[in-house]
Amino acid sequence: MGKSQLRHKSAPLSRRNARIKKWILCIAGSGVLTVLILLGLKLGDKPINNTIPQKPNTVKTLSSIKRYGPSHGTLNGHEWVDLGLPSGTKWATKNVGANKPEEFGDLYSWGETSTKTSYTDTNCITYRKDFATLLKEKIVDADANLTKDYDAASANWGSTWRIPTDEEFKELMDLCKWEFTELNGISGYLVTGPNKESIFIVAAGYGIGETIVDNEDLGDYWTSTSAKDLNRVSYSLGFSPKSYGRRCYARYRGRSIRPITR
């Protein structure tokens, strides 16, 4: 839907809007239908979606995002918006590596603070490490969230910026209105909080090997939270034009970072 664009600090990755093979396995449990979409991945890369995908609204193409009050500011040169959430979380208006909301920004493997030219299971420092090892090496804390030294938002933006936890993304999904749209011709979601303030979350795709996949339709954003019972995956927010929800993917994949602060 959106227009292709080069990334800020462009890594030499090839781009394609791939049509990925999809197998849909439906499992009924506790009266809830869980849909697992298997994206033709290797063992250990199976996405886990333990929330029912939400159906978004759609809005017309935007040229800018309205501001309704003094609920925004800057920290260390990066703009934040207070969406009126109970936690008081302030969300950045752009991705790490981007200069404006509709730019893709950079991609990171989970627990790494630098971009790469290739995203594989052999060059990711956190892949195949269980919770005990991550904790021992001080990559995560007792709640399975990344520590500051392994947080791409903290490392690149400084101050109190950091990657959202799984719970903080859940609050964003549960309490905000999500509308698939385009901002200046680039696809993504307009996410509007209880106080009517909004942020735009761009569909930047994800990196696997030397390829960026579906950077016009899909968005994949790391949380700072690891799955405690699995040694290859961590939680993320994933979306398409038709749905959005919680995911759990292989840590070596290159995914976007949307920082927060308090």
What residue segments make up the domains of the chain, in order of their start?
55-261
68 or 207, higher pLDDT: 207
Q: Does 48 have pLDDT greater than 90?
A: no
Say if CB 259 and CB 72 are below 8 A apart. no
Q: How far is CA 5 from CA 98, 102, 178, 205, in A?
A: 12, 10, 23, 12
Report how far apart the first and last C-alpha atoms of the chain are (Å, whole number). 34
Confidence label for 215 from pLDDT (cuts 50, 70 and 90): confident
Q: Does 29 have pLDDT greater than 90?
A: no
Q: What average pLDDT score do residues 14-39 get?
A: 33
Return the pLDDT at 55.
61
Q: Does 200 have pLDDT greater than 70?
A: yes
What's the pTM value of the predicted model, to 2 decimals?
Answer: 0.81
Say if CB 214 and CB 253 are below 8 A apart. no
For the chain, the average pLDDT equals 83
Q: Which helix (H) or strand (E) holds 74?
A: strand 72-75
Residue-wise pLDDT for 31-43, tens only, equals: 333 333 333 334 3
Q: What average pLDDT score do residues 225-242 get?
A: 95
Q: Does 141 have pLDDT greater than 70?
A: yes
Return the pLDDT at 60.
66
Q: What average pLDDT score do residues 225-249 get?
A: 95
Return the pLDDT at 50.
45
